[in-house]
Structure 1
Amino acid sequence: MTVFFVIGGVGIVLLLLALIVGDVLEGALGFDGIDSLNALDSDIFSTAGVAGLLGGFGFGGAIGLAVTDTMWIAIAVGVVVGVLLGWMAGKLTGLLRRQGSGVAPRTHSLIGVEAQVITAVPDGGYGQVRLRHGGHTYTLNARAPVALDAGSRVWISGVLSATSVEVMPVDVLGGGGATSVLEP
């Protein structure tokens, strides 16, 4: 039974290492090379998948041995539990890796988008606007050629920096803005 506990403990240590050092460990163990060879699903051969396999085999085998007191049944239980845990851990890590959109929002893509003034923009000074575009909510510093009160609808007419834009009142467009106003 001690052997099963040691194998399960190695699985837990490997899982903790995978959580702490992540992709570095995958490269060191060579699992990133398996990705190109595996046509089915490369996430199963991740560090977390191998850790789940080892942990499940070790602790599942220990439980099987304690319940039945037969080694071959303990090994069979360990293999089944290990394969299931390894598969689930691999699928879960793959799901987490693919979760983000991977596209960083760019301020230049905001030109023409409608926004709302949240801090008044004085004549020749800066205020703030808030808008929603592409699933992201932005709060940006804003400058305008005319003074604008808080709550005014505006559209982004230019980009001054990564955090500052130039805005124009929606009235300049004839009452219609472009897209995505954010109501307070």
Structure 2
Amino acid sequence: MTKVATVPGVGTATVVFLIIGAIGIVIAAVAVLGGDLLDLGDGFVSTELLAALVGGFGFSAAVVNELTGDALGVTAVVFIAIFAALPLAFLASYLVKRMSNMRTDATPTRADLVGTRGVVVTPVPAGGFGEVRVRIGGQPVKLSARAERPVPLGTKVVVTAAVSDTSVIVQEVPEQ
């Protein structure tokens, strides 16, 4: 008969339950880091639900077993742990579905550049290219820029046309 190594003061059943809980963490880690390795699809039972169920069962059983000692017995501990793990699993599954269906902003396009205000970071010569920094969606973006007249460093500009996704035509913003 194989003996499970125990920690002093911790029962064998508790160690087994902790190992089951750790397996739940491993399932979640592999699902997150391993891509499609453990993908169960979008059905009723998802990888997240399985990980939360196994982890919740193992850790709940370990806690109940340690708190009650031998007073309840392993069978009662297992039933209590299942009762505790089911809501955790369904909550985890619900939260993952809500996050995966969360709306996000549309990806900025070339049309979103027109009308954007910015500042010249590399002087724009007449007929040549310089660089401007604008903010799109709250993020700073550096773009190649042309202008009808030379525009010096630090000048505030507005984008009047987008030649490509990375190249724009700018015009100085009049001082107010």
CA distance in 1, matches of 2:29, 2:167: 42
Asked if residue 164 in structure 1 is aligned to residue 174 in structure 2, the reply is no
Classify the secondary structure of the residue corresponding to 1:166: strand
Q: Which stretches in structure 1 are left out of the alignment for 5+ residues?
A: 35-44, 177-184
Q: Which amino acid aligns with 1:55?
A: G
1:32: which partner in 2?
Answer: 42
Classify the secondary structure of the residue corresponding to 1:33: coil
Matched length: 160
Displacement after TM superposition at 1:66 (Å): 3.2
Q: Which amino acid aligns with 2:132?
A: V
Asked if residue 65 in structure 1 is aligned to residue 75 in structure 2, the reply is no
Displacement after TM superposition at 1:90 (Å): 3.2
Classify the secondary structure of the residue corresponding to 1:122: coil
RMSD: 2.8
2:128: which partner in 1?
Answer: 125
CA distance in 2, matches of 1:128, 1:100: 33
CA contact (8 A) 1:158 1:167 kept: yes
CA distance in 2, matches of 1:92, 1:78: 21
CA contact (8 A) 1:64 1:73 kept: no
1:14: which partner in 2?
Answer: 27
CA distance in 1, matches of 2:36, 2:99: 13
> Normalising by the residue count of structure 1, what TM-score does the alignment of the two structures yield?
0.70
Displacement after TM superposition at 1:96 (Å): 4.7
Pick one of 131, 140, 143 that aligns with 1:140: 143
**CA displacement, residues 6-58 of structure 1 (integer Å, 9 cap, x when unaligned):** 532432221121111245633xx2x4133xxxxxxxxxx53223201111102
CA contact (8 A) 2:108 2:136 kept: no
Q: Which stretches in structure 2 are left out of the alignment for 5+ residues?
A: 1-12
CA contact (8 A) 2:30 2:37 kept: no
CA contact (8 A) 1:65 1:73 kept: no
2:107: which partner in 1?
Answer: 104
> Normalising by the residue count of structure 2, what TM-score does the alignment of the two structures yield?
0.73
Structure number with larger C-alpha Rg: 2
2:47: which partner in 1?
Answer: 47
Classify the secondary structure of the residue corresponding to 2:85: helix
Classify the secondary structure of the residue corresponding to 1:49: helix
CA distance in 2, matches of 1:128, 1:164: 9
CA distance in 2, matches of 1:17, 1:154: 49
More helix as a share of residues: 1
Q: Which amino acid aligns with 1:50?
A: L
